[in-house]
């Protein structure tokens, strides 16, 4: 990763863990990573936890006065108002969140999130000063046909209008090949680096050099303690978006340590 960007490890808990689990998780995290809970300088790697929406308040309270950041897995396409069941970006920001995941393949594939609704979610997030983690990535058929790069460029192109208005450094991009999510089958470090570099060069060409350099690019898809350092050592990969392996505090701490060791070497 490049020295100028702050690395980021993001835990995406998806629809997992209950109240008591979260209390235990935070207690374990405190024991495993005391530097994130100490009244000292910010550790060199940002650690972000994205719990289910209903537990954002709980997480915020448990992590108060720590360096651990919190993020939402979703925000509504709409601002406040008569939208039963929705949670607005303003509410998420009010709960102390800094980040929001937008365009995750599970939202796109299972819940019909279209490019249009992704634009709306991005817009809501930006308005509330939340940093979006925009997820893109191809399916297996596209990868096998050799069109992964073209596919991801199209996904970026679909959001070009909105992302080109985002301040440099206020957007995170996650490259998550769908075939690698939750499957145990991860992209090779070379492929992940190639896609991260492609994403960055798209930003350089279509947004600005400044935005491209300031933007953390994460890899996601079956990241675990045994492979995270492989990705983290790549020049265009600044961290990871982690699902399954983020559900245990000890595993999250192990991944953070592996990245810290990589950063120092
Ligand atoms: P996984 O999920 O780590 O379980 O593959 C990653 C993600 O969906 O963000």
Mean pLDDT to the nearest integer, 174-195: 94
Q: What is the average pLDDT score of the chain?
A: 96
Q: Ligand 1 center to residue 40 CA distance, Å? A: 31
pLDDT band at 265 (very low <50, low <70, confident <90, very high): low
Q: With bands split at pLDDT 50, 70 and 90, how would you rate the model's confidence at 193?
A: very high
Pocket test for ligand 1, best of 73, 181, 251, 255 (most atoms within 8 A of CB): 181
| Per-residue pLDDT, 1 | 55
| pLDDT of 3 higher than 60 | no
**C-alpha 177 – ligand 1 centre gap (Å):** 10
pLDDT at 73 > cutoff 70: yes
Distance 170 CA to ligand 1 centre (A): 22
- Which ligand 1 atom is nearest residue 245's CA? 3
Quote the CA–CA distance of 225 and 171 in Å, as a whole number.
26
Q: Which whole number is the average pLDDT over 189-205?
A: 97
- DSSP secondary structure letter of residue 12: E
Closest atom of ligand 1 to CA, residue 105 = 8
For residue 264, the model assigns a pLDDT of 73
Q: What is the pLDDT of residue 263?
A: 74
Give the pLDDT confidence score for residue 2 in this predicted structure.
Answer: 57
Are the C-beta atoms of residues 225 and 3 closer than 8 Å to each other? no
Give the mean pLDDT of 191-220: 97
pLDDT of residue 39: 86
Residue reference for tokens 């450094």: 169
Give mean pLDDT, residues 51-78.
97
49 beta partners: 11, 70
Active site residue 104: yes
Share of the chain above pLDDT 90, in %: 93
Q: Residue 98: pLDDT band by 50, 70, 90 thresholds?
A: very high
Own/partner contacts of 152-159, CB < 8 Å, gap of 24 or more, are 152/195, 152/198, 152/199, 153/198, 153/202, 155/103, 155/115, 156/199, 156/202, 156/203, 156/206, 157/206, 158/115, 158/118, 158/119, 159/103, 159/115, 159/118, 159/119, 159/122, 159/134
Out of 67, 104, 106, 138, the active site residue is 104
Residue 265 CA, ligand 1 centroid: distance in Å? 27
Ligand 1 atom closest to Cα of residue 14: 8
Pocket of ligand 1 (CB under 6 A): 12, 176, 181-182, 220-223, 241-245
Delimit the domains of the chain by residue range. Answer: 8-264
Mean pLDDT of 151-172: 97
From ligand 1's centre to the CA of 129, what distance in Å?
25
Counting runs of H as helices and runs of E as strands, what totals does the chain give?
12, 8
Predicted pLDDT at 114: 98
Q: Which top CATH class is 8-264?
A: alpha beta
Burial letters 224-243, b for 16+ CB under 10 A, else e: bbebbbbbbebebbbbbbbb
For residue 250, which phi and psi values (nearest 5 degrees)?
Answer: -65, -40
What is the position in ligand 1's atom list of the atom closest to the CA of 246? 3
**What's the average model confidence in pLDDT over 223-235?**
96
> Residue 4: its pLDDT value, please?
74
Does the annotation count 206 as an active-site position? no
Best substitution site from 173, 241, 255 to test ligand 1's pocket, by max atoms within 8 Å of Cβ?
A: 241
pLDDT, one tens digit per residue, over 100-127 is: 999 999 999 999 999 999 999 999 999 9
Nearest CA to ligand 1 atom 7: 243
Of 67, 106, 138, 176, catalytic: 176
Cα separation, 51 vs 12, in Å, equals: 7
Tell me, in angstroms, the distance from the centre of ligand 1 to residue 127's CA. Answer: 27
DSSP string, 49-103: EE--GGGHHHHHHHTTTSS-EEEES---SS-SSS-TT---HHHHHHTT--EEEES
């Amino acid at each position: 990763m490049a020295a100028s960007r702050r690395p980021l490890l993001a835990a995406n808990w998806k629809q997992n863990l209950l109240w008591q689990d979260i209390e235990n998780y935070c207690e374990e995290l405190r024991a495993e990573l005391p530097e994130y809970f100490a009244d000292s300088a910010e550790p060199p790697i940002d650690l972000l936890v994205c719990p289910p929406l209903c537990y954002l308040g709980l997480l915020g309270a448990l992590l108060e006065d720590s360096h651990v950041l919190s993020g939402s897995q979703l925000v509504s396409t709409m601002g406040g108002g008569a939208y039963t069941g929705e949670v607005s970006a303003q509410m998420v920001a009010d709960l102390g969140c800094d980040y929001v995941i937008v365009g995750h393949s599970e939202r796109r594939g299972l819940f019909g999130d279209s490019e249009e609704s992704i634009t709306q979610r991005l817009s809501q997030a930006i308005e509330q000063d939340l940093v979006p983690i925009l997820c893109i990535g191809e399916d297996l058929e596209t990868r096998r046909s050799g069109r992964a790069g073209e596919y991801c460029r199209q996904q970026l192109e679909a959001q070009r209008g909105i992302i080109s208005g985002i301040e440099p450094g206020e957007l995170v991009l996650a490259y998550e090949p769908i075939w690698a999510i939750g499957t145990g089958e991860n992209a090779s470090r070379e492929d992940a680096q190639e896609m991260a570099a492609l994403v960055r060069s798209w930003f350089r060409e279509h947004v600005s050099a400044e935005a491209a350099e300031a933007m953390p690019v994460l890899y996601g898809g079956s990241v675990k303690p045994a492979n995270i350092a492989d990705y983290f050592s790549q020049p265009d990969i600044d961290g990871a978006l982690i699902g399954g392996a983020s559900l245990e505090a000890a595993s999250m701490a192990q991944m953070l340590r592996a990245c810290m060791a990589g950063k120092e070497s």
